[in-house]
Structure 1
């Protein structure tokens, strides 16, 4: 497969909502595997098609080498827990920049696999955080928007100095 170029912050594409995948064909499979190779090269544990400038609802997560990669097409969150947790987040589009973000600890979500079959799943902890982070990106919500203005401005200044 191919390692693709990742959009870097503040590229306006990182704020663009993605459209639904309608066709489940070999091109989608190729895109998914290109995303996997691109994510591994970055490196990262999650990536969306939007990160490479393809604005369709496709997510790849590889939370551990043992579990291997998972592909999520058209994911959407169905419910959130009231209980939250804080976790350090970052982005392949902003290498080296991290900050703590608070999100719901558990979610229930629906998605399609690469063949188009529908699934529903519960996620908790790190898995739930990653899925929320990537679905935000599909919705055009770059992770910095989850920070207070003060934290966001400070992080952007540090990141820009370090580039």
Structure 2
């Protein structure tokens, strides 16, 4: 009887560990050497050199056409940036920072007497209650939470991200 209880307990522990894992994953594949975001197609690609490792459908800022210029304009930036940091406590499941604004973005906004904004991320959608369809962010790039777990594990600081119109 004791042996049966021990075996059942062991089976339960194995079963629960297989279901768990949480939101932090481990990635052991090829290095992501760059990211491309194609705003018009609502696609994001993680690349190793010229080979596409992963492709994602994305949502953008609620005013997706054009380059982000000012805080609150609802646009997603365009140009070359870098992954700046990982945020495990994001309001949107997990997130990785995009280095917007760069020096040129700050200078342009300054000439207009405005703030360029900031806090642009690639993130999940945890607290967003709608469908991950259409453009709903304040200028960020959004993917499904499970996809964000994968992206979070694959990206490293200073990975270049090219955001195209």
Query: Under a length normalisation based on structure 1, what TM-score does the superposition of the two structures give?
Result: 0.26
Larger Rg: 2
Higher normalized helix content (fraction of residues): 1
